Amino acid sequence: MNRENQVRQSLQAIERAMQDLALWQAAPPEPEAFFSTEPFCVDSMRAEEWLQWVLLPRMMALLDAGAALPTRFMIAPYFEEALKDTQPNCMPLLVLLQHLDSLLNNPPG
């Protein structure tokens, strides 16, 4: 399986894990939340909101467009910290985020 398909499957697994953990939301944050210039929109969104409404759609758009994927990528540490006090059962999600980090930090050869 090529890297793009692996990344797509990883993103889909992250979505399913978020749904299983009841982190998936039916409605997006307020439009102003998307104008943040802070990393992960930390000043306007919770970590899981950023993951659902910013990262997953942007990564899927890159895949759909056949665009280059990032090769320096590390989000799992942020989520380990952001979810540690609010989501005690988030280990399945963290494992999937670590896998995504690994896929994107190993550029195609």
- Rounded mean pLDDT of 51-68? 97
Check residue 108 and give its pLDDT.
60
Are the CB atoms for 18 and 54 separated by under 8 Å?
A: no
Per-residue DSSP letters for 20-47? HTT---SSPPPGGGGG--SGGGTTTS-H
- Rounded mean pLDDT of 63-90? 91
Torsion of CA 84, 85, 89, 94, to 10 degrees: -20
Q: The pTM is what?
A: 0.92
- 78: its two tokens: 């942020």
Check residue 17 and give its pLDDT.
96
